[in-house]
Amino acid sequence: MVRAGSMPDSLIPPIGSVSQPERMFRVNWVANLKKTPSGVPFVTADFTAKQGRRVRVVDVRHADELVGVLGYVPGSDWIPLDRIETLASRVDPDDPVILISGGEERAHDAADKLSKLGMRFVAYMAGGVMSWRDLGYSTTRDRSILDRRDVLRKIDESLMAAPEHVTAEHVQKHVGDSLSVKWIKFPALLVRGLVSCVDGRDDSGVIGSPGGDAGELLVGLRALEKMLRRDLSDSEIATLLARRLDVFGRFYMHTDVDASNLTMQAVRSDARFAGRSVDLDEPLEWRKFLAAPPRDLQDALLEHTLRPEHVGCGHLRLALTRPGEYDVREGLVTALLRSFHQKLWEGTPELEAVALAGGHTERAVLNVRISGPLMPFSRIPLVSPAVGGAQVFVHHPRVTSYLRKQLARFLALQTDIAGTIDAVELHIEMERLGAAQLAKTLGALAKGLPIYDVTFGDERIDVRFGGVVGE
């Protein structure tokens, strides 16, 4: 990773000089940026897939390659390699640009040229389109890109304006935009795991479920307790989390900047952290410290991390502070959070801790489905929660239900802990508990907001008003 000191300080501006989302975008960019031995900047295909409409993706290949066997990333601009140097004079030096080729050689050369011409947020995508496809993301061979040779997509500022009310028309335009929706093959989703929270404070495409992977495992563990008619011990919870990581892989949990700032303030005032050689004013160093604190400070940091006001996921915080309403044990929530952080600090690579910027200003709830049954060859839409400049909650009920069924089957196989239980009955209890918790979270964070049911079909996308939260 690129250390903070290796890039201009202005790349991450001082707090208050730009909006919190803009600053968090820059922090995340710098944290994920890597460089070749010769200093050429690059990012991964997975990072590219998580970017919203503000990031310009530029393909540098020949025309026949764009519409050939590999296709191209939906929403890409096409600037041939022999014209790539003109890009430096056509966009702002701080506009984020990711360059793509079939493999990576040509995009590597393009990134090298543009970074030397003063573009500060430019990188090539490692592995090129082949890497994108290997991760399970879809490409397109739509020939309309051939009419846009050397033409940059116009960034419509009106799309970034936040409407006072999100209407069905806003949603229809949003889900029909290739920059707002990415597609992934269902098997890749099962293998890699891409379940994020329903939270609207992100502009990347998500599979939404309350609390993301952490919220789903919480549902599974609590349903298991109900089936067993006993509480799981902290060691059993840690064991089940470890086994879940081994089987399903990636595990997502988010916090937010406000909670992180409160944690930072608490750590600064804690005498146990005095005199330690970590610059907690530097965002990348603070992020590094939270991801891998010194061993002798981990217990102290856990005390701060587990305080409700320091839990940045609204769903998990509500479950922690209102356990009766969520039909869950406070001790179960705490044990799961503790196990997550302990395994993160051990260096478990499957864990993904994400910080979201800003407060909750969501203006609608989207229930996203595909028409027809979920099949092994189905493509799943990853829908951005950013409808223009407005936030929306995004929920994938059918995908969530399918994944719960797999989690129920997995938990039922852990006979040393669970004994003999029926996976079907466990799934039914998980569905009941998950629906009840979703209703509580939306009631707390989204009461009075419109609900839109979005169905992706083969030929069209259907958007229908589905009621109002709490009515």
pLDDT, tens digit, for every residue of 127-149?
A: 999 999 999 999 999 999 999 99
Whole-angstrom distance between the N-terminal and C-terminal Cα of the chain?
Answer: 48
Span 266-305, pLDDT tens digits: 998 898 888 775 566 677 788 888 888 999 999 999 999 9
Name the band, by pLDDT with cuts 50, 70 and 90, for residue 7.
very low
Domain boundaries, the chain: 18-155, 181-468
Span 60-104, pLDDT tens digits: 999 999 999 999 999 999 999 999 999 999 999 999 999 999 989
* CA 319-324-326 angle, 5° bins: 40
Could you tell me if 222 and 316 are in contact, meaning their C-beta atoms sit under 8 angstroms apart?
no
- φ/ψ of 328, rounded to 5, equals -145, 155
* CA 195-201-206 angle, 5° bins: 25
Stretch 420-437: mean pLDDT, rounded?
Answer: 97
Stretch 445-453: mean pLDDT, rounded?
Answer: 94
Span 334-379, pLDDT tens digits: 999 999 999 999 999 999 888 887 667 789 999 999 998 888 889 9
Residue 459, pLDDT score: 82
Closest C-alpha among 250, 289, 245, 241 to residue 268:
289
Name the band, by pLDDT with cuts 50, 70 and 90, for residue 3.
very low
Closest C-alpha among 5, 22, 71, 163 to residue 13:
22
Stretch 171-193: mean pLDDT, rounded?
Answer: 84
Tell me the residue type at 101: S
Residue 197, judged by CB atoms within 10 A of its CB (0-12, 13-18, 19+), counts as buried
**Predicted TM-score of the model (pTM):** 0.87
Domain 18-155 coded CATH 3.40.640.10: no
pLDDT at 59 over 60: yes
| CA–CA separation, 3 and 34 (whole Å) | 10
On average, the pLDDT of the chain sits at 89
What Å distances lie between residue 184 and 53, 110, 379, 386, CA to CA? 18, 27, 6, 19
